[in-house]
């Protein structure tokens, strides 16, 4: 159990712009019925949730000067060490079709970052991290930062005795897995990209996770699977968590529910709870974000609601 603040690292934050339309018509004029803009990015969403849960958290990374104020506001309950750079912060746009219940997501890759800036961030975090402290590396890398640096970062953090949680995708995720962090949080698509399409379609989700865990037995896997809940693979532990009845919350946006899942899980692990109760809490926190447009906005009345159960099954 660690009482040290969790460190979140945000190297490619974004503004999440969400537009709600009644019925999205491709190639036609569409009228937005609701617009929201939110300081976001995976690590930002996670740090925000820790702040809301009164869990000590420090955040390091970069933010464009153009949007520093909205990030400062979002992170006011967090020990904020984000460096301001004279760059444009990317905007990721989600269009929510209210009638068809479809989310269309357009993601920007972000402004290229000088490799030296990234190395400085690594050095900064390594200079403060302590043994057993959790470090969350979440989100994509900015263009021009070689993915090998993420692997190097994870290895150096582990040498310092830190516990490292990673949520990223593509080549960065593959490199991260090779560096064997303490925990990864892939979703279905990310797991598929790790094991390959053929193996995934032949084996299915749990056997694919089993396969990955077999080759990386020291790396725990918190695998999210949308409406099917989540799975947890660790040494001698195979669990599935699902909330029921699934209709209890209206689903407005699922963006950021994976961040909430990871934040909820780590929040309980940090306090020394066992894996099962950490998973229950993780699913409750993730579920509570679904009725909200803004990524990472949790609702404690849903988290604590007696109207739904999270069932845990050994698999």
Ligand X SMILES: O=P(O)(O)OC[C@@]1(O)O[C@H](CO)[C@@H](O)[C@@H]1O
Ligand Y SMILES: Nc1ncnc2c1ncn2[C@@H]1O[C@H](COP(=O)(O)OP(=O)(O)OP(=O)(O)O)[C@@H](O)[C@H]1O
Interface with ligand Y (CB under 6 A): 187, 224-227, 229-230, 246, 251, 254-259, 261, 283, 286-287, 290
For ligand X, the binding residue among 76, 107, 131, 132 (CB under 6 A) is: 107
For ligand X, the binding residue among 41, 51, 151, 186 (CB under 6 A) is: 41
* Shortest distance (Å) from residue 100 CB to ligand Y: 14
Stretch that binds ligand X, among 37-45, 58-66, 112-120, 303-311 (CB under 6 A): 37-45
Give the residue among 263, 303, 203, 207 at the shortest CA–CA distance from 78: 263
Q: Which does 142 bind (CB under 5 to 8 A by kind): ligand X, ligand Y, none?
A: none
List of residues 6+ apart from 127 with CB closer than 8 A: none
Nearer to ligand Y by Cβ, of 122 and 303: the residue is 303
Tell whether residue 292 is a contact of ligand X (CB under 6 A). no
Tell whether residue 61 is a contact of ligand X (CB under 6 A). no
Distance from C-alpha of 91 to C-alpha of 307, rounded to nearest angstrom: 36
E-assigned strand segments in 12-66: 14-21, 32-40, 57-64
Which residues are 163's β-sheet partners? Answer: 134
CA angle 138, 143, 145 (to 5 degrees): 75
For ligand X, the binding residue among 5, 12, 219, 275 (CB under 6 A) is: 12
Q: Checking DSSP bridges between strand 134-138 and strand 6-10, what pairing results, if any?
A: parallel
Tell whether residue 42 is a contact of ligand X (CB under 6 A). yes
* Shortest distance (Å) from residue 117 CB to ligand Y: 25
Distance from C-alpha of 185 to C-alpha of 232, rounded to nearest angstrom: 9
Query: 31: burial class by Cβ within 10 Å (0-12, 13-18, 19+)?
Result: exposed
Distance from C-alpha of 109 to C-alpha of 142, rounded to nearest angstrom: 7
Site string for ligand X, 130-169 (x = CB under 6 A): ---------xx----------------------------x
Give the residue among 314, 305, 291 at the shortest CA–CA distance from 244: 305
Residue 293, helix vs strand vs coil = coil
Residues in the chain: 315
Q: What is the DSSP letter of 211?
A: H
Tell whether residue 45 is a contact of ligand X (CB under 6 A). yes
Nearer to ligand Y by Cβ, of 75 and 191: the residue is 191
CB-CB neighbours of 113 under 10 Å = 19
Stretch that binds ligand X, among 151-159, 187-195, 254-262, 304-312 (CB under 6 A): 254-262
Which residues are 237's β-sheet partners? Answer: 234
For ligand X, the binding residue among 258, 285, 289, 310 (CB under 6 A) is: 258
Q: Which does 12 bind (CB under 5 to 8 A by kind): ligand X, ligand Y, none?
A: ligand X
* Shortest distance (Å) from residue 42 CB to ligand X: 4
Nearer to ligand X by Cβ, of 6 and 14: the residue is 14
List contacts with ligand X (CB under 6 A).
12, 14, 16, 40-42, 45, 92, 107, 139-140, 169, 255-256, 258-259, 295
């Amino acid at each position: 159990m660690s009482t040290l603040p969790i460190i979140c690292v945000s190297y490619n934050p974004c503004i999440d712009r969400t537009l709600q339309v009644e019925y999205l018509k491709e190639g036609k004029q569409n009228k937005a019925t609701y617009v929201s803009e939110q300081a976001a990015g995976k690590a930002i969403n996670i740090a925000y949730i820790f702040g809301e849960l009164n869990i000590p958290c420090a955040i390091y990374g970069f933010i464009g000067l153009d949007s520093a104020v909205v990030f400062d506001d979002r992170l006011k309950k967090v020990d904020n060490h984000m460096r301001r750079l004279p760059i444009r912060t990317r905007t990721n746009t989600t269009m929510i079709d209210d009638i068809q219940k479809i989310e269309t997501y357009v993601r920007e890759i972000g402004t290229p970052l000088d490799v030296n800036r990234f190395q400085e961030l690594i050095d900064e975090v390594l200079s403060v991290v302590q043994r057993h402290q959790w470090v969350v590396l979440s989100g994509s890398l900015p263009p021009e930062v070689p993915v090998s640096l993420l692997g190097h970062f994870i290895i150096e953090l582990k040498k310092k005795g830190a516990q490292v949680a990673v949520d990223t995708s593509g080549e960065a995720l593959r490199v991260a897995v090779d560096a064997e962090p303490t925990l990864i949080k892939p979703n279905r698509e990310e797991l598929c990209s790790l094991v390959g399409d053929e193996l995934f379609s032949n084996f299915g989700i749990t056997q694919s996770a089993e396969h990955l865990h077999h080759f990386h037995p020291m790396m725990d896997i918190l695998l999210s699977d949308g409406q099917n809940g989540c799975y947890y693979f660790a040494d001698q532990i195979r669990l599935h968590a699902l909330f029921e009845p699934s209709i209890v919350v209206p689903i407005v946006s699922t963006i950021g529910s994976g961040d909430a899942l990871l934040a909820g899980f780590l929040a309980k692990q940090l306090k020394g709870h066992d894996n099962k109760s950490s998973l229950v809490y993780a699913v409750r926190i993730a579920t509570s974000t679904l009725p909200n447009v803004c990524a990472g906005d949790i609702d404690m009345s849903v988290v604590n609601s007696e109207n739904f159960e999270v069932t845990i099954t050994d698999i």
